[in-house]
Amino acid sequence: MRHDPVLDVSKLPTYGFGHRSPMWWGTLGFCTLEGMGFAIAIGAYLYLSFLNPQWPLSVPPPDLIWASLLTILLIISIIPNYLTQKFGEEENLAKVRVYLVVMSVLGFVAIGIRFLEFGRLHVKWDQNAYGSLLWALLGLHTTHIITDVVDTLVLTALMFTRHGHGKRFSDVGDNAFYWNFVVLSWLPMYALLYWGPRL
């Protein structure tokens, strides 16, 4: 008589953290695609700067103040973001709530700084190729900030309801992973767009 082995998996968790979560892999794929979009736009920027002896075209480079403030804020945000992920993996609901609120506030401040920056750029988006690429790169990154802030707000709201348990903690980790991408993708753009023309 033949017996088929059967494994009882009913006691295994229904969610995981990090690379053990299918959503983490989905987020990684999302970041890879978006990173390629940034790379293509940066490639176009570098190509045009190579072709034009005067770069930026007919305007001074963007002011450093707002971009530098944003960069400092994003770098500082890595600490509460790390703590949000850590407490999510520990399934510490009280601390996850606190740090999700902190990350939501930091996200709104980042959006505010970026919109102040848009109003003070020395070139319009349709003025020339430089303006179009500068606005496109800043617009792409702003979209990523807004996307993560909206996701953080939804998670924060869920954590203050009866849904704040189980797989939601895994979602907190995925959200933190995406924010790290938002921060890390900004650093080379900051160097390229704000310091590159000054070298």
- 72: nearest Cα among 187, 199, 150, 178: 187
Cβ neighbourhood burial of 178 (10 Å; 0-12, 13-18, 19+):
buried
20 or 65: whose pLDDT is higher? 65
- Distance (Å, whole) CA 135 – CA 141: 10
Please give the backbone phi and psi of residue 11, each rounded to the nearest 5 degrees, phi first: -95, -5
Pull the structure tokens for residue 180.
């790290």
**Domain positions in the chain:** 21-198
- pLDDT surpassing 70 at residue 4: no
- pLDDT surpassing 90 at residue 179: yes
> 41 with 136: CB under 8 angstroms?
yes
> 79 with 112: CB under 8 angstroms?
no
**What are all long-range contacts of 35-41, with beta carbons under 8 Å and residues at least 24 apart?**
35/181, 35/185, 37/140, 38/137, 38/140, 38/141, 38/185, 38/189, 41/133, 41/136, 41/137, 41/140
Tell the residue number behind the tokens 């902190």, with chain if given.
Answer: 102
Residue 24, pLDDT score = 82
| pLDDT tens digits, one per residue of 68-103 | 999 999 999 999 999 999 999 999 999 999 999 999
Average pLDDT over residues 107-111: 97
Determine the longest span between alpha carbons in the chain, in angstroms: 85
Q: What count of other Cβ atoms lies within 10 Å of the Cβ of residue 138?
A: 20
Average pLDDT over residues 136-154: 96
Q: Please state which CATH number belongs to domain 21-198.
A: 1.20.120.80
Cβ neighbourhood burial of 79 (10 Å; 0-12, 13-18, 19+):
exposed
Q: How confident is the model at residue 113 (pLDDT cuts 50, 70, 90)?
A: very high
pTM of the model: 0.87
Q: DSSP class of residue 196?
A: G
Residue 12, pLDDT score = 61
